[in-house]
Structure formats: structure tokens, C-alpha cells
Amino acid sequence: MYKAPVEEIAFTLNHVAGLSDALEIGRFGDLSPDLVDAILAEAGRFASDEMAPLGDIGDRQGARLEDGVVKTPDGWPQLYRHWREGGWNGLTAPEAFGGQALPHMLNVATLEMWNSASMAFALAPTLTMGAIEALVAHGSDDLKAIYLEKMVSGEWTGTMNLTEPHAGSDVGALKSRAERHADGSYRVFGQKIYITWGEHDAADNIIHLVLARLPDAPAGTRGISLFLVPKFLVGEDGSLGERNDVICHSIEHKLGIHGSPTCTMIYGDGKFGDGTGAIGYLIGEENQGLACMFTMMNNARLAVGMQGVAIAEAATQKAVAYASDRTQGRAPGSTGPQMSPIIEHPDIIRTLLTMKALTQGSRAICFACAHAIDMSHHLEGDQATHWVERAALLTPIAKSFATDCGVDVASLGIQVHGGMGYIEETGAARYLRDARIAPIYEGTNGIQAIDLVLRKLPLSKGAQVRTFIGELRDIAQRVESLNAPGFGSTAERLNASIDDLQASTDWLLEAQASGRVAEALAGATPYQRLFGLVLTGAYLAKGALVASEDGSGEKRVSLCRFAAENMLSETAALKDRVIAGAESLEAARIVLA
Amino acid sequence: MYKAPVEEIAFTLNHVAGLSDALEIGRFGDLSPDLVDAILAEAGRFASDEMAPLGDIGDRQGARLEDGVVKTPDGWPQLYRHWREGGWNGLTAPEAFGGQALPHMLNVATLEMWNSASMAFALAPTLTMGAIEALVAHGSDDLKAIYLEKMVSGEWTGTMNLTEPHAGSDVGALKSRAERHADGSYRVFGQKIYITWGEHDAADNIIHLVLARLPDAPAGTRGISLFLVPKFLVGEDGSLGERNDVICHSIEHKLGIHGSPTCTMIYGDGKFGDGTGAIGYLIGEENQGLACMFTMMNNARLAVGMQGVAIAEAATQKAVAYASDRTQGRAPGSTGPQMSPIIEHPDIIRTLLTMKALTQGSRAICFACAHAIDMSHHLEGDQATHWVERAALLTPIAKSFATDCGVDVASLGIQVHGGMGYIEETGAARYLRDARIAPIYEGTNGIQAIDLVLRKLPLSKGAQVRTFIGELRDIAQRVESLNAPGFGSTAERLNASIDDLQASTDWLLEAQASGRVAEALAGATPYQRLFGLVLTGAYLAKGALVASEDGSGEKRVSLCRFAAENMLSETAALKDRVIAGAESLEAARIVLA
């Protein structure tokens, strides 16, 4: 059974991602290290003891649609109530609306634990938090006054309605429409698909944020507006009124995250209300909906990255436990008649260490991204700009690298279990099924790679990424200076990989500058993975440096060395794909014709 | 919907794996190219038109256990009857028992098609064929006379019973027991798990091959005997008699291959018969059971490799079709207001080409392995020994590389579908679920790597593998000599990868020779993948050379070049892991303590 790795999470937050330094100089007001530890410990307890036991049943039962009502798995409504009563939903929300205004770093740390315990369950608050952010950033004071407090407390959940059958990655193609109404509200019509927790029985109201077009809107992405459409209409005093004209038409039969209802929502078809459409309220300005939605989406991308970390962590724990217990064959050097625990076989050791390194690397990348977001909120001027850019640069890497790791680590976890891994009751297969959506939603990892290469590398004319690479060089330099034998060839390996990153970055910036966009795009995905791998190596080294200085770090140092000497050699191949792969890719298009 | 790639299969058989040359010199008697084509065409028709439509329903319904009887999905018993009436079950079986004595190459080619259409369904004949081979090789004349004809026709199916709860990869740990009976038969007792098609309603009888220990047997693998245990006892005239004392206790709830019943079988618990145990008949000599079982297992490993090829092919077809149809965004260079088919986006092109190259590479490796098996049967003396060794060397690579490709390609296929890929009705997710077992059963891919490094590389003191590497050099040399621009830097890339293979091979042989077995084992899995990648590059080049000579091969040449310039650079990283990774792996064991 999953046990939240509270100590590892705290270490990574504090010593790799920068929380400790930030606390020391008072960047987060009077937030103390002790309070951080207490929050993490309590989250760990809740996730391990209360949430994880209900994860399996959620997978087996799934969400069920009965007469337009979605029933969540047995025990989930109570679990949700306990969870929100713990104050977890409003960790980062403004105090004015009942939130705790804590750093995002703490929120992603707790998100990891909720997702390890049950990714399907954790999706509900993940979407609510995104809706809160959009409303805080763009909503009118009236809307905020009516909706935010109950959303922050978690009494009401939120959703995000972008996708339509022919408008997925290409949001600009959406067709849902909205009409202005005499009273200043709007009427919304249309069908939305893949709406996570679009309908359920765990909260009193559901606040849908819906993208739609006004009749006179320009075509494409510049003609999209964002509307708040509550399931139940809300009086000015916050009381629940009539049912709004929005229904869940069906829920999807998915590979995983069975407990999370993925809904097709229909707005304004006349099932409820007076037949004039679903009543909605504009968020932000007309035709500026996409900018509002991006507020949600950016943090949602990091939250999805945390799903990858979470599944990788849970899958690794399960595999290590199984491999310690299961005996088969005799490991090299074993004596006596007994079979060896499979954790002593070199191939299993390689697999488990790879799982550990990917998990810790992904975690560090995501936490570093959250740190950048926090810094951007707590600093001003050029410093704020720097951190906004850093968060922007890290977001696609965090989302894609961590979610790919989630899938890869879950798959390796099945393999460690042998035949048992293929049996559903074991639970290893669920991790792969759940993990597999994360590289897809919130922008496929291919879309993230396009974003990284076309929009993030050019930030500050390339200065942001170059500064970042310089920081990674410093880490390698510190390993080199320390010259401790436990690190093996870490410094040399890490430097070589940073060279690969540097060369690929330069090549991509040059390709774009000279108008060779297709060539840059051909290398976008290998580049994204290259960046993630280098960060994994660098952050493991950063943690190992801290740990080695206080003498407690033999394990960290040896894992860092394993990653450097067994995983970083992949970066040369990735660089090669980036800078030398595009021509043959273009030439081979005929294969697909 | 899946359409069997008959032309591609024929090309690979003939021009890459060596069938054409063998036919030309009459190696397979009067088997003509026309007959080969006719067989492949008819298999393709059956797989595409009759079998594939029943694959989905098999996945949805699954096999069901009701009162000890296993019901296969709707339509499957009829499908099975049609299939066996086509003579497909006995393709390679001896003519004396009603088989067609055709080359294994044809059997693996048709196996690919059955598995693409429905891997769960194809498992039934796969197991039967293995049982036939064991019986042909080791059974007494009496057993052959009674059982083989009906097994070859497919009227009766076969199973393979090795695994017990504490004896999986380590077969020597099994505890099922057998007692000698006065009439020369045996009585078998014990529980076996993971028995594929152990019980079902699609055939009149099921012939179980069961490993068990005699009371006076030595411990470990040298004390195991193989028994034939029929579900229904069979008279000397072949008539069905009483039910034998073997039952299906339960079936597993698995990640995939839902239509294939995975049974826990109980022998001799007294549910049927006179309470003296399940009646069994010795196959081969007492205590020589493992050698008999290896006869089944070796070809079964290749058959599992074909499952990887099959899923990769089917997943690629589905992804290409979807990407051609689905429009989103605008690809670089596209003009006009329309969205582009996603197959025009560079990242999707990269993904689909990677899927194609892995599929074709895996297919070529598996077919080359089948060719080696055929040659070993049709030649004598040193030549036969050479081909026995070649088949032995190729088997673990075929099994592991192709099944890893099956998983990877199926996962990429989901990714190409975006959100649709996660919805079960789309069918892309089924491929991943089905594919995920193949790297596990018939010896996990980790076990294959151990086999490759410890048992196969040392064949003929390393001469077999060195000869093989020399043949790969010749292919690179031919590409170099041709010096055709379409090949890009294929020759150079392929040579560099062969260098990596050579260096890794030398290192592993030297490590073993000097007793550093743990170090060799630490690099076994990276080495196995390295070998598979080099073979992929070499076999794509071999095919491209043939195709370029007759001018029809622009597609083959460009895919070969794509693989060389985008995929082969991984071999350097793998070599590095093999020859420089073991020390850090050993040092990092403390991480798992």
C-alpha cells in the first residue's frame, strides 16, 4: 500500500527546488519550516491512510451514469467531504475568500500525494483549483463575491470546458455559442466533450467555466469568450436556486482513471430552464476568453505533471516492495539453497534504480517549476519577469517529462511484477492505465514540445534559457570541485549532457531565426526529453551535493551517479535527432502517403 | 479496421529473411513462390475479414467462467471452427499426422496476421502448436498415434502447464507431483496458474502438457517430468471417454487479452474420476521434462515475439488512418484557412515513422529467426549446427525486442489519437493492454537478456555471434558501395552502430571469461536492445537495397534512412550502459535497501 514519501518530498522542496532558501529570507512571510513540515506530514497521513484505501474501489467501480446523475464510487463523497474539511482545497487561494495563501510549492507537493493515492479522485480538486485561479485573475468582483468562497472551501467544484468533437488541441475551432441577454448575463449553447468531473454527487454545486463564441465574434482564437455556468443557479446571498440548463449526456468508458467521470456536457438544449439556453456570466472581457483560460491551463499543466510524478512514485513503491518479497532463481554471488529475492538480480536492480531516478528527477523539475511560479508572485519588476519566464520555460518540460516518466515507470513496475503485474487485482496495471492519459490531456506532450521550442526558447531572445543552462553548469562545476569518489564520473557526464543541451538549444534558436520552423518542430520532442534528462541529472546532483555535505547522503550520491553513468548518455542521441534528424524525417514523409 | 499487410510480409519473408533464395534452390522441396503468395493472401483475407471483426467483442465480453465451464466470447467457437477447417493449425506439422509440413517462416507470417486480428484468439492455436511440437519431438509412438491427428487438425487444443504460485521464472521450484501407476500411466496432482486457454468451449478436448515431480526425483530442474493430461480420457480408437480429474478453478481478471481464458488449473483433487488423481502419460523420459518443455518454449518465444510485431502493425495502421483523417491546427507550410490533417505535423510524422520502423524491424528479426529454424531442419551436419545456433541467438532478441516494440508502438499509437486514444471504444487502448503481457510471459524480457548474454553469446566460443556481426557489416558495406544519395548517412550510421554492438559483445564475452558474471548481467538488457536496434537498421537497409535495385524502393530507402539517422544513435548510449554502467549500478544497490 502507498505510503506518502514525506521526507523525500520535503528534501526536494527545500534543498533542490529552493524552498529552504526562500523561507530563510522570509520570502513567504511568517511561513516557517516547522509549519511546512506539519502540513506535509498531515497531507501524507491523509493520503496514505484515508485516500489510498479508496483508490482501488474507485478503479473497480468507476463512476456510473444513472438517469443523468453521476454516482461516484462508494465512499468517495464522504472522502471528498473529509478532504475538503481539512482545508486542502484552498491551500494557495487568497485569504480574502477563505484560502490560506500558501506557496504553490506546497500545493504541488500535496497534489503529488493525492494523485499517488488516487489520481481519479485528485482530478476533482485539480480542476476546481484551476477554476478558482481563473476567477481570481479575471472575474468581476460580483462573481468573486458570489462564487469564490464556496469554491475555495471545496463545497462547490469547478470544471474547465474547452474541447469539442472537432476542436481539441486546436481550441480556435470550437463552435459553442453564447448570446447576450438583456440583464447582462449570457445564454450558452453547445456540446463539450472530455469534461473531467463535469457531473457528480460529491458536491452541492458545480461551477463550469465554458469557452464559447458570441454571434459577432471574430473567427479563430480571437473570438472566444469565457463564461461561468453554474449547475444550480446561485442567489446573491449564495443560496442555491433552480437547476441551470446544463446536463451530462454521457460519460466515457476509458482505459483508466475510472473513478473520475469524463462527461459529455450539453448546454442549453432545453432540458432545464425556460428554453432560452444555459445561463452564463462573462469572465473577463468578451473575446478574451482564451487568455483567461490560459491562466487555468498553465497551472493545470504543472498539476498534470504532478500526476506523472505521483504515479511514478506509487508504482516504484509497489515494485520495490514486490521485488523485496518475491523470490526466484539465484542472484550472482548468492550462496546456499534458497532462492534470492528478485531485488538482488542485477536486471531488477537496474529497473528499480531507473524508476527511482526518473521519479525523483520528475519531482524536482515540477517542484522547481512551482518555485518559479511562487517567486514570480512574490517579487517585482525584472525579478518577477525573470521568474515568470522561468516558470514558462519549465512548464512544458515539467508536464511532458513527468507524464512520460509516469507511463514509463508504471510500465516498468508491471514488468518487475512478472505475471502478477498483468493481473488487475495486483494494482500495478492500474498505474499504467491511469498514467496513460497524462501525456495526452492539457495539451499533448507533442503540443508541449512545440510550445517549448517556438515560444519558450525565444523568451528574452534566448537569454532565459541560456541563464538556466548556466545554472546547470554551476551544479556540474560544484560536483567537479568537490571531487568526491562517490560521484564517479558524474561531473564529466553531466557536463557532456549540458553541452548537448546547449548545442541543441543554439541549433533550434538559429533554425527559427532563419525561418526553418519545420526543421525546428521535427526535433521538438527529442529536445524536450533531452532537457528533462539533463535536469534530472542536474537536480539529482544538486540534492546529492547537499546530502554529501552533511554526511547523510550516500544513497543520494549513489543514485545521482547511477543516473549520470547509466541514463545521461542518452542525451547525445537526442541531440543528434534534434540537429541531424529533420532532413531524413522530411524525406520519409512519402512512407505515410 | 485492420487489413493484413500481405505484400509487406511477403517482401520481408522473401527478400530480408531469406525465403526467396531458399525457394530458388529448392530447399523446401516443391514449395513454389506462387503457393507462398496464395497462402499469405488467404491468411490475410481470413484475418482481416473474419477474425478482426470478432477481436473487439472478445475484448469487451472476455472469457467467462460459469460453474466450472469457460465460455469464450460470442462467435468465437464458430470462428475457431472456421479457422481450423482452413488447415491453419497444422501448417508446419508433419504430414504423417495431417499437417502440411510447410516452413516455420510461413507459420510465423500467418501468426502475425492472427495476432493482429485478435491476440487473445490467436493464443489458443499458439499453445496447441507448441504442444504438438513437444509431442512430435518427445512423445511415444502410442501417444502420437492417439493424440496428434486431432491436435494437428485443431479439433483438440493444447496447453502448457509450468507456472505455480512460487515457481514462475524459476521452474525448478515447482511442486506439482506425479505418481507411477501400475498400468504404466501416471497420476498427477497439483495446482498450475496462468494456464492460457486451460479451459474453454471451442474444442472437444484439451490436451494439457504438465510439468510435475515424481516421488524419487532429484531436487530442482533435474527432477521434473512432463506429462500429457487430457481433459477427457481418450480410447485407443480416439474416442472420447470419461472426464479426467482436472478442473479450471478460476480465471484471471487481466489488463488485456480478455478473450483468452487464463486459468488456474487443479489436477487430481477428486472432483472427477476415482479419486486417485488426474490420469497422465509420460512424455519423453522421467526427469527429462524440462528438456521436452524447452522444445515448446523456444518456438513459443518466437511466437510471442510475433505478438509484438502483430500489435505494432495493427496499432500503426490505426494511428496512420486516424492521423490522415483528423484535422487540427496548421502544419508548417500549409496555406489556406483549413486545418491540416495531423499527419502533416512534424511531430506526428516522427511518431508514425518510428512506429513503422520498429514494426518492420521487429518483423524482420522474427522472420530471420524462423528462417534459421527452417534451415536447421533442412540442412545437416555443421550447417545444421550453424543454423541451430543462429536460431538460438536470435530467439531472445526476437522475443524481447519485438514485444518491447509492441508495447512502445501501441503506446505511441494511443498518443497519436489524443484524447480519443484513451477512450476504449476507439480500440487503440486495447492494443496497449493486450501488448503488455508479451514482454512478461514465456520468460520475461529480463530472462531473455540473461539467456542471450550467458548462454547465446558463448555459442561456439563466440564465433556464432561474430559471424553474424560480420554479415551485418556486409550489409553496411553494400550500402556504402552503392553510394546512393537517398540513403543519406545510412552506411556511416549503421557501421557506427555495428561498432557499438561489436564492442559490447567483446566486453560481455570478456567479462564472462574472467568470471565477472554480475557485471555482464547488469548490462544484459541494454545489450539486448542494442542488438535489436542494430538488426532493425541492418534489415531495413537490406530490404532497401533490394528495393532500390529494382527502382521501386523510394519508400523503403527513405524509411531505412530515417531509422539510421534518427534511431541508431541510441546504440552509443546503450553500449555505454553495457560497458560502463555496472559499477554505478552495484554502488547504488544501497538505494533499494
pLDDT in tens, B66-120: 988 999 999 999 999 999 999 999 999 999 999 999 999 999 999 999 999 999 9
Answer whether residue A266 shows pLDDT above 90: yes
Closest CA to A62 of A307, A196, A261, A311: A261
Q: For residue B417, what pLDDT is reported? A: 98
Per DSSP, which regions of A350-425 are E strands? none
Q: How confident is the model at residue B539 (pLDDT cuts 50, 70, 90)?
A: very high
Rounded CA gap, A574 and A571, in Å? 5
Q: Average pLDDT in the B20-43 region?
A: 96
Mean pLDDT of the residues in chain B? 96
Active-site hit among B133, B164, B389, B442? B442
- Judge whether residue A292 has pLDDT over 80: yes
Mean pLDDT of all residues in A507-525? 97
- On the 0-12 / 13-18 / 19+ scale of CB atoms within 10 A, A555 is middle
* A381 Cα to chain B: minimum distance (Å): 35
Chain A stretch 543-572, residues whose beta carbon is closer than 8 A to a beta carbon of chain B: 554-555, 558-559, 561-562, 564-566, 569-570, 572
Decide: helix, strand or coil at residue B78: helix
A423 backbone dihedrals φ, ψ, rounded to 5° = -85, 130
The C-alpha cell at A131 is 477554476
Comparing B270-274, B323-327, B577-581, which segment has the lowest mean pLDDT?
B270-274
Q: Is A552 exposed, middle or buried (CB count within 10 Å of its CB: 0-12, 13-18, 19+)?
A: exposed
SS3 B254: strand
Identify the helix (H) or strand (E) that includes residue B370.
Answer: helix B346-378
What pLDDT was estimated at residue A354?
98
Q: State the nearest Cα–Cα gap between B473 and chain A, in angstroms.
A: 22
Catalytic residues of A: 442
- Count, residues in chain B: 593
CA–CA distance, A104 with A302 (Å, rounded to integer): 10
The verdict on a CB contact (< 8 Å) between A588 and B353 is yes
Q: State pLDDT tens for residues A438-461.
A: 999 999 999 999 999 999 999 999
Q: How confident is the model at residue B487 (pLDDT cuts 50, 70, 90)?
A: very high
Q: In the prediction, which pLDDT does B299 show? A: 84
A83 in Cβ contact with A46 (< 8 Å): yes
Other Cβ atoms less than 10 A from the Cβ of A240: the count is 15
pLDDT band for position A171 (cuts 50, 70, 90): confident
Region B530-548: mean pLDDT is: 97
Task: Dump pLDDT digits (tens) for A297-341.
Answer: 888 999 999 999 999 999 999 999 999 999 999 999 888 888 999
Residue numbers in B near A448 (CB within 8 A): none
Yes or no, beta carbons of A573 and B576 under 8 Å apart: no
Longest CA span, chain B: 86
pLDDT of residue B171: 87
Amino acid at A495: N
Interchain CB contacts (distance < 8 Å): A and B: 265
Q: Which residue from B450, B569, B583 is facing A576, i.e. has the nearest CB?
A: B569
Enumerate residues 6+ apart whose C-beta is below 8 A from B576: A569
- Asked if A389 and A460 touch (Cβ cutoff 8 Å), the reply is yes
At A325, list the grid cell.
518479497
pLDDT at site A551: 65
Does the CB of B168 have a partner CB in chain A at under 8 Å? yes
pLDDT at residue A549 in the model: 76
Contacts of A173 in chain B (CB under 8 A): 328, 339
Candidate from A341-345, A547-551, B318-322, B558-562 with smallest mean pLDDT = A547-551
Assess whether pLDDT exceeds 70 at residue B551: no
Three cell numbers at B406?
509492441
Q: What are the tens digits of pLDDT across the range B175-228? A: 999 999 999 999 999 999 999 999 999 999 999 999 999 999 999 999 999 999
Of B193, B347, B444, the CB nearest to A521: B347
Distance CA A81, CA A87 (A): 10
pLDDT over 70 (residue B155): yes
A168 has pLDDT over 90:
no
- How far CA A309 is from CA of A248, A486, A509, in Å, comes to 31, 27, 30
Which chain B residues are Cβ-neighbours of A418 within 8 angstroms? 168-169, 440, 444
pLDDT given for residue B309 in this prediction: 98
Cα distances from B294 to residues B162, B299, B392, in angstroms, run: 11, 9, 12
Q: What is the 3-state secondary structure (H, E, C) of A488-500?
A: CCHHHHHHHHHHH
Per-residue pLDDT tens for B264-316? 999 999 999 888 999 999 999 999 999 888 877 888 999 999 999 999 999 99
Q: What is the separation, in whole angstroms, between the first and last Cα of chain A?
A: 49
Picking from A132, A131, A74, A66, the residue whose alpha carbon sits closest to that of residue A98 is A132
Give per-residue pLDDT as tens, B366-402: 999 999 999 999 999 999 999 999 999 999 999 999 9
Pairing between strand A205-212 and A156-161?
Answer: parallel
Residues of B numbered 434-453 whose beta carbons fall under 8 angstroms of chain A's beta carbons: which are they? 436-437, 439-441, 444-446, 449-450
Q: In a mutagenesis test of the B interface, which of A565, A574, A579, A586 is the best target, namely the one with the most B β-carbons within 10 Å?
A: A565
> Does the beta-carbon distance from A424 to B255 stay under 8 Å?
yes
Mean pLDDT of A180-198: 97
User: Is the CB of A173 inside 8 Å of chain B's CB atoms?
Assistant: yes
CB A446 within 8 A of CB A411: no
Minimum mean pLDDT range among A511-525, B204-218, B393-407, B542-556 = B542-556
CA atoms within 13 A on the CB side of B319: 32
Q: What percent of chain A has pLDDT over 90?
A: 93
Q: Identify whether the C-beta of residue B369 lies closer than 8 Å to the C-beta of residue B575.
A: no
| CB-nearest partner of A566 from B256, B450, B581 | B581
Backbone angles phi, psi at B64, to 5 degrees: -125, 135
Residue B337: pLDDT band with limits 50, 70, 90 = confident
The conformation of residue A226, written as its DSSP 8-state character, comes to: E
B558 and A332 in contact by Cβ < 8 A?
no
- With a CB-CB cutoff of 8 Å, which residues 285-324 of chain B face chain A? 320, 323-324
User: Are the C-beta atoms of residues A248 and A68 closer than 8 Å to each other?
Assistant: yes
Overall average pLDDT of the A557-568 stretch: 98
Q: Say which residues have a Cβ less than 8 Å from residue A365's Cβ, sequence separation at least 6.
A: A305, A394, A397, A398, A401, A402, A532, A535, A536, A539
pLDDT of residue A67: 84
Contact B518 A587 (CB under 8 A): no
Distances in Å between the Cα of A308 and the Cα atoms of A204, A398, A456, A516, B384 are 30, 9, 22, 33, 51
Mean pLDDT calculated for residue range B481-495 = 96
Residue B550 has pLDDT above 80, yes or no: no
Would the CA dihedral through A305, A309, A314, A315 be positive or negative? positive
B512 touches chain A (CB under 8 A): no
Q: Which residue has the cell 469524463?
A: A262
Distance from CA of A556 to the nearest CA of B (A): 8
CA distance A54 to chain B (A): 20
B256 and B190 Cβ atoms separated by less than 8 Å: no
- Block residue for cell numbers 543552462: A469
Please state the rounded mean pLDDT for residues B18-35. 95
Query: What is the distance in angstroms between the Cα of B351 and the nearest Cα belonging to chain A?
Result: 10
Angle between helices B346-378 and B104-117 (to 10 degrees): 140
Which residue in this structure is represented by grid cell 470550437?
A174
Q: Is residue B131's pLDDT more than 90?
A: yes
The stretch A177-183 carries a mean pLDDT of 96
* Residue from B324, B347, B425 whose CB has the most chain A CBs within 10 Å, to mutate: B347
- Cβ atoms of B206 and B196 within 8 Å: the answer is no
Mean pLDDT of chain A: 96
3-state class (DSSP) for residue B54: helix
For residue B284, give the 3-state DSSP assignment: coil
CB contact under 8 A, A350 and B522: yes
B352 to chain A, closest Cα gap in Å: 8
Residue A72 has pLDDT above 90, yes or no: yes
Q: Is B192 on the interface with A (CB under 8 A)?
A: no
Question: Looking at beta carbons, which residues of chain B come within 8 Å of A573?
Answer: 569-570, 572-573
Chain A residues in contact with B166 (beta carbon < 8 A)? 327
Chain B: closest CA distance from residue A587 (Å):
6
User: Quick one: cell of B271?
Assistant: 472432483
- Among the partner residues B170, B350, B524, nearest to A525 by beta-carbon distance: B350
A169-173, A565-569, B516-520: range with lowest mean pLDDT: A169-173
Name which of B522, B391, B393, B510 is nearest B446 in CA terms. Answer: B522
User: What mean pLDDT do residues A67-96 have?
Assistant: 96
